Structure 1
Amino acid sequence: MSAVHLVQIGLLGTIGKFVAADRNAYVRDVEVICRTARGLEVGRVICAVDSAVAAEEHDGELLRRVGREDRAIVERLDRFRDRAFLACRKLLTERNLRATLVDVEHLFDGQSIWFYFLGEVSPEVESLTNELAEVYESKVKFRKFAETLAQGCGPDCGTGSSCGDCSGCALSGGCGVKKS
């Protein structure tokens, strides 16, 4: 079985090639946590790829299946994302800046928030989004948990062999890696 997968990630639905850290094969449409160049992101498995494609360069690492605790984190991030969207629109209006905000994306690790606009982004709009990013990244307060979110309680997190099925780690079973 292949440990390399095509995974759709991010708000824009980018498809990348990700190596499974646990060497497991994941089935189509399973939600997973991936480490990308941007940070930790939630993705959806499209398919496993064959060994010829797997040998090519990849876009990151598939860390684990999305678990219960991960889902709770995603819901919390979605609430902050919605608030950041409304705050950005309000500030654009208050500062009389001509920009069309399309959407906001908060990465799973809480370390990055992305604002998407139509067309060119002026320096004033960029400054405004930097202000908002600082406000909402500090509100989410996940920075200190980023490493645990990425690694769980150890290298075998989720397999049951490191900590009794992760009942003691910050993910409390959330890493949910299932051996195929």
Structure 2
Amino acid sequence: MISHYLVRTGAWGDISQHRPVDGGSYRRGDRVICETSRGLEIGEIVADVDADAAAGRILRRMTDQDELLQKRLERYKRKAVQECRERLVAAGIDAVLLEVEQLFDGRTLFFHFLGETNDDVEAITNELADAYEQHVRSRHFAKLLSEGCGPGCGTKEAGGCSGGCAVCVVASACSSAAKKS
């Protein structure tokens, strides 16, 4: 049996099985960066389990840089919550915003509402997602292009990821677009 971990992620504390990509050992309470079906998220190790299948992958323990980025994303999230509530009131919409989740990838916002939503609510959340995605990306874009996902990112010679990670795909697409203009 392969060692897996139960990892708690998301605003509602979803728990799912994850496999460490580095074969590392983790303890209960360790904060980790993991890939889930929703994207790149911060998780907390709940327990280790012996299993054959996993829903996601544990990429690494959180670093000091990850903690700083998470704090910045938390500030953006709070702004998105406030702005969404203000726009709902201004539009006369009675929808109740419970939570906004900013995933660690800096590109994904999840808006959680109590009850039904309509097209007006969807339009507001889409506008906010676009605005905050652009803001988060612009802050980290130069660093992502220069460093990628780590030393040698995207190169076979340096043992990098050979362009398969989200950062490499974004950096490659943006580099190509910049060369064309």
Gaps of 5+ in 1: 156-161, 163-180
**Which AA in structure 2 matches 1:97?**
I
- Judge which range, 35-44 or 136-145, deviates more: 136-145
TM-score (norm. length: structure 2):
0.77
Q: Distance in 2 between matches of 1:86 and 1:39?
A: 24
Give the corresponding residue for 1:130: 126
Identity across matched positions, percent: 39
TM-score (norm. length: structure 1):
0.77
Give the corresponding residue for 1:55: 52
Q: Distance in 2 between matches of 1:41 and 1:143?
A: 17
TM-aligned CA deviation for residue 22 of structure 1: 0.3
Give yes or no for the alignment of 1:70 onto 2:84.
Answer: no
**Which AA in structure 2 matches 1:4?**
H
Give the corresponding residue for 2:176: none
Give yes or no for the alignment of 1:13 onto 2:13.
Answer: yes
Gaps of 5+ in 2: 154-158, 160-181
Give the corresponding residue for 1:87: 83
Q: Distance in 1 between matches of 2:8 and 2:37?
A: 14
Instruction: Render the CA deviation track for 1:100-131: whole Å, top value 9, x for unaligned.
Output: 00111100011100111001111110111000
Alpha carbons of 1:4 and 1:62: their partners in 2 closer, same or farther (altered >3 Å)? Answer: same
Instruction: Render the CA deviation track for 1:18-47: whole Å, top value 9, x for unaligned.
Output: 010001120000000001111100000011
Asked if the contact 2:2/2:52 (under 8 Å) is kept, the reply is no
Which ranges of 4 or more aligned residues in structure 1 deviate by more than 2 Å? 142-146, 151-155
